[in-house]
Amino acid sequence: MTLAKICGLKTPEALDAALGAGAAFVGAVTFPRSPRHIEPLHAATLYERARGRAKVVSLLVDPDDALVTEIALILKPDLIQLHGHETPERVAEVRRLSGAGIIKALPVSTPADLDAAAAYAPAVGHLMFDARPPEGSALPGGVGARFDWTMLQGRTFDRPWFLAGGLTPDNVGEAIRLTGAPLVDVSSGVESEPGVKDPALIAAFMAAVDAASPRQGRTK
Ligand SMILES: O=C(O)c1ccccc1N[C@@H]1O[C@H](COP(=O)(O)O)[C@@H](O)[C@H]1O
């Protein structure tokens, strides 16, 4: 069964929609250039409602030690998603500093990009394959870009991995069937405008994930 992460949740309504629809992971983006940016203290208050219902993920981009420490102390995330240029050594440092599990997002535009996973696997609990953003993009992710999912066919990795990038309620079923992704992640694909989550799109996305990946032992 494929599990889903809904990322960039910054209002009670959006977070409740994700939790109510069965998201296994919910993500707080702390990156000022993002339309989904949320400050650590605000995230800590908002995500209290997620405790025990879903894994709380803090998305950071090339964070320094001060931000990692602030996030660890204030938000106390289950996982930190590193979505920048972090090296395997830096990833290991962030894991030690925060005590959180790590999701390392890797940009993909060619099959060779998938080979980078081997260097990161020892330092992380999860990998993430996200479309490399277009040249000159203001954001390293969250722009609705997708990559050729067939690159993942037949590939295996030493860690559980998320498929991300350009997923929507309309295409996530195809993405799961094509790749066998154990985990999927969406940000812009469930929004009515940048940074504004649409509860109906969140519900539709989760329903599509569920339909494409029957639960073990479910009769229908
Ligand atoms: O969502 C953001 O604003 C964001 C900012 C900086 C780095 C990553 C970001 N989002 C992550 O990018 C992928 C793909 O997003 P999308 O579904 O294509 O919009 C996903 O993992 C988001 O969590």
More confident residue, 209 or 214: 209
Which DSSP symbol is given to 49?
Answer: G
Phi then psi for 171, rounded to 5 degrees?
-115, -10
Q: Pick the residue whose CA is nearest to atom 4 on ligand 1.
A: 142
CB contact at 8 A, 82 and 126: no
ipTM of predicted complex: 0.98
Ligand 1, atom nearest to 166 Cα: 18
**What is the per-residue pLDDT for 113?**
98
Q: Average pLDDT in the 191-196 region?
A: 98
C-alpha angle with apex 88: 83 to 93, nearest 5 degrees? 90
Binding site membership of 140 for ligand 1 (Cβ less than 6 Å): yes
Which DSSP symbol is given to 37?
Answer: B
- The answer on pLDDT for 219 being more than 90 is no
pLDDT mean across residues, the chain: 96
Does 3.40.50.280 match the CATH number of domain 3-212? Answer: no
Binding site membership of 142 for ligand 1 (Cβ less than 6 Å): yes
Percent of the chain with pLDDT over 70: 97
- Banded pLDDT at 156 (limits 50, 70, 90): very high
Instruction: Give the integer Cα–Cα distance in Å for 45 and 180.
Output: 35
Binding site membership of 139 for ligand 1 (Cβ less than 6 Å): yes
Binding site membership of 59 for ligand 1 (Cβ less than 6 Å): yes
Tens digit of pLDDT for each residue in 24-57?
A: 999 999 999 999 999 999 999 999 999 999 999 9
Locate 58 and state its tokens. Answer: 């803090």
β-bridge pairing 55-60 and 3-7: unpaired
